[in-house]
Structures are given as C-alpha cells and as structure tokens.
Structure 1
Amino acid sequence: MKTTKKTWVVSFMALALLSLLLSACGGSAANTAGNNNAENSAGEAADASNLLGKIQAAGVIKVGIMGTYPPYNSLGKNGEYEGFDVDIAKGIADKLGVTAEFSAQDFSSLIPSLQADKLDAIVSQVTITDERKQVIDFSDPYITNSVKIIVGENNTDITTIQDFAGKTIGVGLGTNDESYLRNDVLPEVGNFEIKTYNDVITSLQDLNAGRIDATINNMYALKPIVDENGFKIKAVGEPIKSDQAGVAIRQDNPELKEAMNKALADMKADGSYDEIFKKWFGEAPPAE
C-alpha cells in the first residue's frame, strides 16, 4: 500500500507539472496569435490609408473628364463616355484591376473636385505645368499636343500671335491655353481681349459666327467637331507651342502614381496604347 500510495503521489505531481507546462505553451501560442493579429490589423490600417489600396479594395477608380471634348472625351450616341482619354483611363483601370467610373464636369471644376476627394484622378487633357504641380501631382505624360491658331475660313489678318493685338481671342476657361495667353502672349503682343468658354463647341460656334477673331487649340481636338458641325474655320501658321498631358492625382500618393506610370508603360509595351491612338486620331503616335 505504501508503494502504491507513493507511486500515486509521484504520478499526480507529474501530471500537475505537465499541465503547467501545457498552460505555459498555450499562453505563448495565444500571445503569438494575438501579436500576429495586431500586426495584421496594423497592415490593414496602413492599406486603408493608401489611396491605391482603397481604389483596389473598392474595385472602382473615380475619373473626372470634361465630357465635351471629342475625340478626347465626350458622350457617345449609346449614352456612354468615349474618346482617347476615356480609353486611356479604362486601360489604366484594367492594369490596376479595377473599373473606371466617369464623372463629367466643366474643366475649371475638375481640379477643385480632385482636391476635395470627389475624384481619384483626372484624365481629361490636363496639361502638366509647374504651376499645377504646386497643388496636384501627375503621372508620366500620355500624349503630346501641338497647339495652333484657329481662325475663320476667310480670315487673312491673323497668322501669328503678333496679330492678336486689338483682337478678341477665345480660349477654354481654366486651361493651360488660357494661362499661356495671359502670362506669355499678352506681355509680348500687347493688349487684346480674352474671352473664356466652358466648352470647345461654343468657342468654335462664336468663331464661325465672327463673334471672336481666333482661338488656339490643336486640330486633333477640333477635327471631329468641325466635321460634324460644318464650321468654316482653319488652322494657320506653325504650332505656337506643344503641351504634354498627364493623369492628374492628389499629391502625396506615391503608390498610385507609381502604379499609373507602370500601367502606361505596360500599355505602350503591349501595343494597346498604339491601338487607342490610331483608333481616335487615325495615325500612329509620334516617336518619343
């Protein structure tokens, strides 16, 4: 009996010790799991503060366009937006694994809407300038446009910007062309009137009717409007400047900017960029 009792006591103590050891191991495992959960939560929080992560989580990128600027962006006959900018935005969205959702506004409202977080990006011929870089950021350029003087078909008085003196020149409100006229041409040429417009069609209607003497734009933008409306206008002289447009995004979003630049590079590498360019302009993009 003594031997049996002693054996029982030893066995009980061994079981108790084993139980303590298991509890300790269990506590370590629980702590490890807790730490892992905390790290995962921190990672999720970091992703939640990343605009690219938010866009990909939502599955949608909100893109601002004018919607009145063919062949870059306009409302098609099927009720959906179409154009070069629209296809570029769709291509970028596809590379990001999301869908592009378009919102049309006056050009002068696009950047304020972007800054107010109502848009994730603008793909609407936003010219890259040092002034704009103070308040927004840009992807790499996705197109270069040559800007020319546009006048009425019978106009022989204007062939260069020096001929603007004493004339009325139309331009898009809030565009880089407006800044160019005010900041570069006016000081050089002398006094002339600048009349601003919220859309290209109205400016061309006024030019066609003789209510303004000239406008400045590029013929890629004007050709479909002229063909559709029968406007009697023409481009004159050499290009007065060339602009590069990029995808506009809010500042301090390096992940989104890097992803967009990669998407554009991939589109050029796989040939989809060339297909989009030829579709809307009828020719291959110029060599870079």
Structure 2
Amino acid sequence: MKMKNLKKLLALSLAFVLAIGVSACGSSTKDGGSDTSASGKEVYRTLDEIKKDGTINIGVFSDKNPFGYVDENGEYQGYDVYFADRLAKDLGVKVNYVSTEAANRIEYLQTGKVDVILANFTVTEERAEEVDFANPYMNVSLGVVSRDDNVITSLDNWNKDDSIIVISGTTAETYLTKNYPDIPLQKFDSYATAKEAFENGTSVAWANDNTEVIAFSLQNKGYTVGIPELGSADSIAPAVTKGNDTLLNWINDEITSLGEENFFHADYEATLADTYGMDYEDSLVVEGGKTE
C-alpha cells in the first residue's frame, strides 16, 4: 500500500509540474508579444520586431471612400492609405493592408492581427482604455444625412416609428445610445451595407462621422446633411496595441516630422479634395499632431 501511495504522489507531482510548464510556454507568441489567451496581456510586435520582419500590418477600411477603399484594380486607396504608405516607407518596411470593419478595430489590435489601425478611428476616453492613440491627424464630428424630401435638422421630438442607421462600433452608435436612447437604431457592420440600406429607404436618416455623410450627400443626389455637427468635435488618430510604447513613440515622432512638410494637407489635396473641395481642408486637417 505504501508503494502504491508513493507512486500516486509522484504521478500527481509530475502532472502539476507539466501543467505549470505548459502554462508558461503559452504566455508568449512567436514574435515576442504576449498571448492574451494564456496570460491576459496584449499581443503586439515592438518597433524592432516590425523592422526585423520587414512588414508592418496596418488595419484600414476597404469600403469607406475616400478614406480607405479598394479601387477597380484591387489596390487600397484613400486618405488613411496615403498616410499608411508613408509610414511604411519611412520605417523602411513593406505594408500589409488588413481590411477591418469599425467593430473589429480594437479586437484586431488586441489579438495582434494588426500593428496599427488607420481606419478613421475617433479618439474617445472609452477606447483609450483599450488601445493607445497616437497624435491626431484629422478633426471630425458626427453628422446626420437624410433625404431632400424629409430633411432631419434636429433629433429632438423624434418620431418613435422612424429609425436611424449607424455602423456598429462607431462613435455615432455610442453617442445616440447614450444621448437619445429612445431613437431606434438600425445597426450594420460595414459602410457598404449601411449605404445600401439607406439608399433602399429602410431608415429616414444615417448618422456617422460628418466627413462620411457630407461625402455621401455630395456624391449622391437627393440627400442633405441637415445636421452637420452633432455633439462635440473629436480627433482621428492612429491606434496601437495598449503598451506598445516603442511603436507609439515612433509614430508620434513621425507625425511631428510630417507636419513640418505639411504632409497632411498634401494628403487631403491628393485624396479628399475631389470629394470635399478646398473649403473644408483647413478645418479637417490636423498638421503635426497639433489640434489648435
């Protein structure tokens, strides 16, 4: 009996040691970042790891013209993409574009699917608890677009039978849920499906970044932005995984350096001027990370 008990004790001890070893091995990824599933820490690649690999993974929209979209040749284009190309060039690496939707932006950073998000990402206090934002490169506020035969100029005294279209995971969804909880929301995962639904008349209005709804009204006859500014003005900025300080600091230095050459005004003129004209340039562009 004593021998059997000793064998059981040794077997249990060995199993315990092996369990600890497996747990420890699962706490890191092949590129040195932490594995959220094992350790609860964020997954990311440092600046040096990205340089060593020779490729940076950048999350952008593929269906939000003129900020991030895929053209008829299958190439990524737009304001965010113009900026991303320059980041990769100055870092000395190739860029791998990862198509993202609004609701996936934080997840893609936290799971290490991308190194940087450049997908018209509005800075908010809630998001800043989950990702690290670099300095801004654009100003934005919310806006509401509606049809010419029923222009929405106010959200007060709303008809409870009407709904507003929003994109899941955007500041428009958050703002309306908090400030106008009685307004029914139609939520879509992508800009393409939201645009199609709005054009098909499923809702009386579409709330989104004012840059998006202004662009929609300019490109589509029969629509008016009756509310060009809803709530407070915000900033658009790159985002990296929480704690990835080496990459964050490099991007901030890069934005400062690019500001010295008026890079973001050049970006606007190359990618946004055809949509918005020149009247919006100085109000939308943030040069060198300085919002004032």
> Does the alignment reach a TM-score above 0.5?
yes
For 2:227, the equivalent position in structure 1 comes to 237
Which of structures 1 and 2 has the bigger CA Rg?
A: 1
For 1:285, the equivalent position in structure 2 comes to 282
2:193 to 198, 202, 207: 202
Checking the alignment, whether the CA contact within 8 Å between 1:277 and 1:285 is kept in structure 2 is no
2:149 to 134, 146, 154: 154
For 1:220, the equivalent position in structure 2 comes to 211
Deviates more, 1:203-212 or 1:264-273: 203-212
For 1:168, the equivalent position in structure 2 comes to 163
Checking the alignment, whether the CA contact within 8 Å between 1:65 and 1:107 is kept in structure 2 is no
For 1:59, the equivalent position in structure 2 comes to 54
Pairing 1:142–2:137 present: yes
For 1:211, the equivalent position in structure 2 comes to 202
Pairing 1:114–2:109 present: yes
Return the letter of the residue paired with 2:282: P
Return the letter of the residue paired with 1:206: A
CA distance in 2, matches of 1:218, 1:268: 24
CA distance in 1, matches of 2:157, 2:197: 19
For 2:177, the equivalent position in structure 1 comes to 182
Deviates more, 1:215-224 or 1:146-155: 215-224
CA distance in 2, matches of 1:164, 1:254: 45
Question: RMSD over aligned Cα, in angstroms?
Answer: 2.2
Q: Which has the higher helix share?
A: 1
Checking the alignment, whether the CA contact within 8 Å between 1:204 and 1:231 is kept in structure 2 is no
Q: 1:226 to 1:76 in 2, by over 3 A?
A: farther
CA distance in 1, matches of 2:74, 2:169: 27
SS of corresponding position for 2:243: coil
SS of corresponding position for 1:114: helix
Checking the alignment, whether the CA contact within 8 Å between 1:168 and 1:192 is kept in structure 2 is yes
Q: 1:238 to 1:108 in 2, by over 3 A?
A: closer
CA distance in 2, matches of 1:138, 1:205: 31
**Structure 1 residue 238, shift from structure 2 partner:** 4.5
For 2:96, the equivalent position in structure 1 comes to 101
Return the letter of the residue paired with 2:52: A
CA distance in 1, matches of 2:156, 2:114: 39
Checking the alignment, whether the CA contact within 8 Å between 2:67 and 2:79 is kept in structure 1 is yes
Return the letter of the residue paired with 1:160: S
Checking the alignment, whether the CA contact within 8 Å between 2:214 and 2:225 is kept in structure 1 is no
CA distance in 1, matches of 2:82, 2:147: 32
1:69 to 64, 67, 72: 64
SS of corresponding position for 1:128: coil
Checking the alignment, whether the CA contact within 8 Å between 1:84 and 1:276 is kept in structure 2 is yes
Identity %: 23
**Structure 1 residue 218, shift from structure 2 partner:** 3.8
